[in-house]
Amino acid sequence: MPVLDPPSEDPVGPYSRLSHTQADMHRRCPKMWYQRYVLGLLGGSPPLFAMGHAVEGALNRVMRDSPVLVTHDATSETFDSPLEEVDISGTGNLVIRPSTQSNASWPGLNLATLDVSEWPRERLEITTWAKARARIHFEREWSHAKEEWLEDPNRVGDWDSFEEKRKEEACQMVFAGIEFHLDEVENCMKENGGPSFNDWRAGKNRPKWPSPDGFPYTHTIAHPCAESSGDITLVEAWEVARPWFCDPDAGLFALAAIHPDGWLQGEYDLVYRWTGSPRIHDVKASVGTSDFSFGYPEQLATYAYLWWSTHNKQELVTELEIWYLGVPVRKKIHLPDEKSLLRLENRLKPLHKKLKMSEHNPENEYPGTPAPVRTFAPGGVLTDSTPLTGMARCGSCEYQLVCSDSPLKEELAKGGATRFSPTSEAKVNCIPIGNIDPFVTIRGTVREPNMVKQWPTFEKEYLEFFIDLGPSEWLAVVIKQENPKIPFGFEHGATVRIRNGIIASGWKKNLGAHKRLDVSASGTIELAPTSSEDDATFAKLIPEEYNIQAQVYNFNHQDGKWAVKLIDDTGSASFQVWGGEEKSRAVLEGYNPERGDEVVLVGAQAKDQYGKIVLQARVTKTFATRLRPKP
């Protein structure tokens, strides 16, 4: 099966799986992986990235179409799949997939079959039909790619100039993919449909995960073009040879194959199955001359391992191939045997444990030791040129200006006093990001513990209680953890110590303004019969506000949240504004930050978010955090 959902008792979770993308980035440079996945620094998104999605999406839509149901000039939406939301892990991790509902409206069931005289009978005819479909699908995919790129706050480059130079080239890549697929169709005809052809003609033994063809997953009726006997026809071969691919209407990473133990995942481009055994082909919208070509054979080997491991280690892939559509050329990749797959497993599993399962990822464990940069000719052919060693890879790395190990690193701010307004010489004192430490340790007596539904949705329920530090000295405590580790003996009247909480300002109608201790992912609770020098006094428990001067590295906006990643010479931190446009306007005062801007942030509060410190805006009737360009 090309798709396998996580096990019901998922020991890893959706955000802690390893992928080839991460493993290969770590191979290229451990520090590069650290910058991306530990610090969360996102590189820019050039139009080239969007082009790849448009090419693959258009190619898949053509392969999904049927030449006996879809005319050459039909709209792109004619053969769209009905969709549904699926919780694949039982944890609320919803993905969008083709529908499995019995009442779903599938186009293959609703469209009238074209007259037999309109069915293509030879390669030139079906090529003409497929390329006409490609033009229509490509315009849709290109427009969608452009819209997504324009909405991406991390976009870099100029779409119009890119489109003028590369749009037709991208469409020609789709045509190249069509020709490669038609080679498969012709091979299928030569083999008279392969070992499952008679079952297909009878509408029997449809796979659990069928190739996207416009019909329901559980369809048991013969295809409209299926003949009752005789040699296979061209249109039958088109239907039979169709590979499995991610349905172009499905959501991102909705159709992944996940290792039975949950630690590895991948999403195949094309899986041909008509020969009776799986053959995996990967589509590249490129000519293959970049250094990425060095990692592609291992990507295909990882897919071969994933297929093997998701089939009880009983079924091996029989062919691996890369389609370099920009040349165009099909490149065969060495096929690993079982011993090779086990060696790959023995290398990737410890890497997963290190990268994804460690509680902490100290920077010194991810040195800036780049792999050599190799040169490739078109088609991913390794040349005889001597690899560039040392720090040569830094020249093309998106972190070259901020990485502490890069010889190209620029000087960044280190805190200190700086002007905040272009109209005033007054300065604010800024703290280096790496010195921000909002955590406190307190000891006191528990009072009135209770589970309380949380404002504003009142869906989550957290443990809340008061803690008395002395006469008239108390804090309201909120344990913002789903399953907090509460020590035995915790109850009203118990003396406890809370570590790594953050002091905030609270307000409730029955309490008025008060001090609150937020205890999130980093926080712990323990019984504390004796005091410690770590215990803070009540007088020192004051909500902190932070000023920093930094560079805007990237944006992380989400629904209801405006967010930016800031970086200085000592570290990085996310700054976020919740509450929609009204709140973000108050913070930005008309300023529209861009990547690379030098900024000054004044009056931010620190939060513990999933074990990482983030900075958050505070906006009230009398005060607002401010983010401004550095004068």
What's the pLDDT at 8? 82
Decide if pLDDT at 454 tops 90.
no
- The rounded distance, in Å, linking the Cα atoms of 215 and 222 is 11
CA-based nearest residue to 604, from 448, 386, 436, 411: 436
DSSP category for residue 245:
-
Angle at 182 between CA 285 and CA 210, to 5 degrees: 85
In the structure, what pLDDT confidence band is assigned to residue 213 with cuts at 50, 70 and 90? very high
Q: What is the pLDDT of residue 267?
A: 97
The residue whose two tokens read 């892939």 is 317
Q: How confident is the model at residue 405 (pLDDT cuts 50, 70, 90)?
A: very high
CA 118 to chain centre: 43
pLDDT of 541 > 80? The answer is: yes
- 526: tokens are 């323990």
Predicted pLDDT at 458: 81
Phi, then psi, of 600 in degrees rounded to 5: -125, 125
- Whole-number pLDDT of residue 363: 93
Other CB atoms within a 10 A radius of the CB of residue 456 amount to 5
pLDDT at 380 over 80: yes
Terminal CA-CA length for the chain: 58
Read off the pLDDT band of 508 (50, 70, 90). confident
- Please give the mean pLDDT across all residues of the chain: 95
Mean pLDDT value of segment 70-84: 98
Kindly indicate the confidence band of residue 170, based on its pLDDT and cuts at 50, 70 and 90: very high
The fourth-level CATH superfamily of domain 546-629 is Nucleic acid-binding proteins (2.40.50.140)
Confidence of residue 502 (pLDDT cuts 50, 70, 90): very high
3-state secondary structure of 65: coil
pLDDT at position 29 is 98
- Which band of pLDDT confidence, cut at 50, 70 and 90, is reported for residue 47? very high
For 550-595, the pLDDT digits (tens) are 999 999 999 889 999 999 999 999 999 998 899 999 999 999 999 9
List the structure tokens of 406: 């890069």
pLDDT of the residue at 365: 95
Residue in 529, 399, 408 with CA at minimum distance from that of residue 31? 399
Alpha-carbon distance of 610 to 123, in angstroms, equals 56
C-alpha distances in Å from residue 316, one per residue of 18, 97, 272, 340: 21, 27, 13, 12
State the pLDDT at residue 11.
87
- Determine the CATH number of domain 439-540: 2.40.50.140
Q: What local confidence, expressed as pLDDT, does residue 430 receive? A: 97
Higher pLDDT, 123 or 512: 123
| Alpha helix ranges (H) inside 79-158 | 107-110, 123-151
Indicate the pTM of the whole model.
0.92
Q: Which residue has the tokens 């900024």?
A: 599
Rounded mean pLDDT, 59-81: 98
Tell me what percent of the chain is helix, strand and coil, each rounded to the nearest 5: 30, 25, 45
Residue 443: predicted pLDDT = 98
pLDDT-derived band of residue 622, with 50, 70 and 90 as boundaries?
confident
> Sorting pLDDT into bands at 50, 70 and 90, what band is 157?
very high
Place of tokens 């416009």: 214
What's the maximum distance between 2 C-alpha atoms anywhere in the chain?
95
Residue count (the chain): 631
In the chain, % of residues over pLDDT 70: 100
Please report the sign of the dihedral spanned by the C-alpha atoms of residue 164, residue 170, residue 171, residue 176. positive
pLDDT at 93 over 80: no
For range 447-466, the mean pLDDT: 90
| pLDDT, position 393 | 97
Query: Is residue 244 a contact partner of residue 2, using CB atoms and an 8 Å limit?
Result: yes
Examine the pLDDT at 456 and tell me if it is beyond 80. no
Distance CA 238, CA 186 (A): 9
For tokens 């396998």, what's the residue?
4
Mean pLDDT of 21-33: 98
Q: What is the rounded average pLDDT of the residues 533-549?
A: 96
Confidence band for 324, pLDDT divided at 50, 70 and 90: very high
Do the Cβ atoms of 460 and 452 come closer than 8 Å?
no
Yes or no: say if 416 and 630 are a contact pair by the CB < 8 Å rule. no
252 phi/psi in degrees, rounded to 5: -65, 130
Residue 90 has pLDDT above 80, yes or no: no
**Helix, strand, or coil here: 284?**
strand
User: Would you place residue 269 in the very low, low, confident or very high pLDDT band (cuts 50, 70, 90)?
Assistant: very high
Binning pLDDT at 50, 70 and 90, where does residue 271 land? very high
Residue 145: strand pairing partners: none
Secondary structure (3-state) at 544: coil
For the ranges 112-116, 324-328, 422-426, 521-525, which has the lowest average pLDDT? 422-426
Instruction: Locate 154 and state its tokens.
Output: 């991390």
For the chain, the domains span: 1-42+256-410, 44-245, 439-540, 546-629
Q: Which residues contact 487 (CB under 8 A, 6 or more apart)?
A: 496, 525, 526, 527
* pLDDT of 214 above 80: yes
pLDDT at 489: 96
- For residues 255 and 7, give the distance between their C-alpha atoms in angstroms, rounded to a whole number: 15
Could you tell me the pLDDT band of residue 482, with boundaries at 50, 70 and 90? confident
Q: Confidence band (pLDDT; 50, 70, 90) for 334?
A: very high
**pLDDT higher than threshold 80 for residue 91:** no
456: cis peptide before it, omega within 30°?
A: yes
Phi-psi region of 194 (alpha: psi -120 to 50; beta: other; left: phi over 0): left
Q: Would you say the CATH fold of 546-629 matches that of 439-540?
A: yes
Grade residue 285 by pLDDT with cuts at 50, 70 and 90.
Answer: very high
pLDDT class for 9, splitting at 50, 70, 90? confident
Nearest residue to 598 via CA among 430, 368, 434, 438: 430
Summarize the confidence of residues 145-172 as an average pLDDT: 97
Task: Report d(CA 266, CA 20) in Å as an integer.
Answer: 7
Distances in Å between the Cα of 369 and the Cα atoms of 30, 290, 404, 406 are: 7, 20, 12, 10
